[in-house]
Amino acid sequence: MSKFIEKNVVVGPFSCNCRILVCTETREAVLIDTGDEAGKILQAISKIEQEVGGKLNVTHLLHTHAHLDHIGGSRGVMEGLVRVLGEGTSSPKIALHKNDLELYQALKEQGKRFGIVYDSPLPVDHLMEHEEEIKFGKQKLTVVHTPGHSPGSLCLKLHQDTASGAKESLYTGDTLFQGNVGRTDLWGASEEQMFQMIRERIITHDDDTRVCPGHGMNSTIGVEKRTNPYLAGL
C-alpha cells in the first residue's frame, strides 16, 4: 500500500474538486475545499478507512477561498466526522485565510443569489498565513497566499516525499486552472493582483509541479506556462 493517498471527490452543482490527502502510516488526513455533498465526502473517507484498516484522523478542513462552492459542505462534513469520533476527541480545524473571513460568514447570502439554502457556517478555527506549514502525519503543506480571485485566495503546496510517493503539487483553488485562470468579477477580486500572484508565487514552481485546481482536470506548471493562453507574457 502507498504511504500517501490522494482522493478527489467532485461535489455539488459547480463540480468542485474536494481533495482528501492521507498519510497512511499515521492515518492523519486533511481535506481541501469541502464544497458540497457532505455525505459523498464522508462516504469517500469511509472507503479509504477500509483500505488503510482503521479510522482516519482528519486534522483540518482547509479552504482555498470562501466562495460558496468551496465551503458549502464544511458544516456537514465536520458534524459527520464529530459524530463518528464521539465525545472527548479532538475535532478537525476549519481553516481559511483571514481576508476571506467576511465572505465565509456570508455563506447564506451567497447561497440566496443562486437559490441555494445553507445553514450558517461553523466558526473558523484557524486563520492560515502565507508560508505557514501544515503537517499531517509525515506529509507537509505550505500555504501560498495568492489573492486576486478573492482577497483570501490561497494555494496549498504539497511537498514532494519520495519515501511515501507524494509528488510536489499545488492545490490552486480558483486561481489557476488547466488552460484557464480564475474570474475576477466577484466581490473583492482584482485581476491585476491575481496575475501578479500567478507570476510571482505560482509559475515560479518547478515545471513538473502538479497543478490541482478547484474545478476540472489536473495539469503541471510547465504545461500551463507553455499552453495556457492567459499566461502568455507573464
Q: pLDDT per residue over 37-70, tens digit each?
A: 999 999 999 999 999 999 999 999 999 999 999 9
Percent of the chain with pLDDT over 70: 97
User: Residue 33 pLDDT more than 70?
Assistant: yes
Q: pLDDT per residue over 110-160, tens digit each?
A: 999 999 999 999 999 999 999 999 999 999 999 999 999 999 999 999 999
**Which residue from 101, 106, 45, 49 is spatially nearest to 77, judged by alpha carbons?**
45
pLDDT at 1: 63
User: Residue 194 pLDDT more than 70?
Assistant: yes
Q: What average pLDDT does the structure give for the chain? A: 95
Range of the domain at 164: 4-231
CB-based contacts of 100, cutoff 8 Å, min separation 6: 63, 65, 66, 150, 151, 152, 153
Q: What is the CATH number of the domain that holds 23?
A: 3.60.15.10
pLDDT at 234: 82
Number of folded domains in the chain?
Answer: 1
Query: Rounded to two decimals, what is the model's pTM?
Result: 0.96
